[in-house]
Amino acid sequence: MKKINILLLSIFFLMIQFPVFGEDAAKILSKMDAVLFASEDQKSTVKMVLINRNGNERTREAVIWQRGSDKRLFRFTAPAAEAGIAFLSLPDDVMYLYMPAFGRERRIASHVKNQSFAGTDFSYEDLESVKYSEKHTPVLLEETEVHYILELTPLPDIRSDYSKVIAYVNKKHHYPEKMKSYDRGGQKAKVAEYTFDRQDGYWFIQEIFMTNLTRHHKTRMTFKDVQFDTGIDDQVFTVRNLTRY
């Protein structure tokens, strides 16, 4: 009996030290990816509001095309000074930027993915199209009544300017509600807050509110006129189309 009690106590202390969670971290992350990339394709118009430290705002408009989980084209349409600026994300970490003023595309090197896209608080890495499970090792830090809290660290062969991302995943629907990104020095650099809505059987991002803690700057990105599964042609996601405006 004494040996049994000691064994039970040992198990109890192990459970305190290593909590038992309801779901595996990799499975949670995989379900989150499934929500984010559920449709065959998606097209939406976007309103971006850039807010500086003094609260002054600038507004831009854009269109985003998405196909699968690895192709995305983002193009500004207004105001006139930014219209035509575009970003293309392709498989295998291939990204291009097009600036109409220069009249040609530029391949984005991996070591500059942390740069701001056209003055927003989204870097090229933030905007690339890739599943989180293909870039990160997940660890389940905590489980609350509402969230699974995951720590995502880059896989060994992945170059990232974030040392880790803390993701708050909705337990019922498995979409992210908040992500805290940390720089290579371990300092919290950005906080992204997500609002989701449901349409045509899909959960989709209705708004992202990105706070850049380093620049003391914010960007609110709102998605409108969202369309799913319209048969967007692969030719949309080409360098040739990127420069056509």
Going residue by residue through the chain, which has 245 residues, state the pLDDT in tens, using 9 for 90 and above.
554 454 444 444 444 444 445 579 999 999 999 999 999 999 999 999 999 999 999 999 999 999 999 999 999 999 999 999 999 999 999 999 999 999 999 999 988 999 999 999 999 999 999 999 999 999 999 999 999 999 999 999 999 999 999 999 999 999 999 999 999 999 999 999 999 999 999 999 999 999 999 999 999 999 999 999 999 999 999 999 999 87
7 occurs within a structural domain: no
169 occurs within a structural domain: yes
Q: What is the CATH number of the domain that holds 57?
A: 2.50.20.10
Angle at 147 between CA 141 and CA 148, to 5 degrees: 35
pLDDT of residue 5: 52
14 occurs within a structural domain: no
pLDDT of residue 89: 98
233 occurs within a structural domain: yes
User: What is the span of the domain harbouring residue 227?
Assistant: 24-242
pLDDT of residue 23: 74
172 occurs within a structural domain: yes
Question: What is the domain count for the chain?
Answer: 1
58 occurs within a structural domain: yes
pLDDT of residue 20: 46
pLDDT of residue 245: 77
pLDDT of residue 111: 87
10 occurs within a structural domain: no
19 occurs within a structural domain: no
- The residue behind tokens 């807050």 is 193
Distances (CA, A) of 97 to 115, 118, 193, 240: 12, 10, 26, 12
pLDDT of residue 93: 92
pLDDT of residue 16: 46
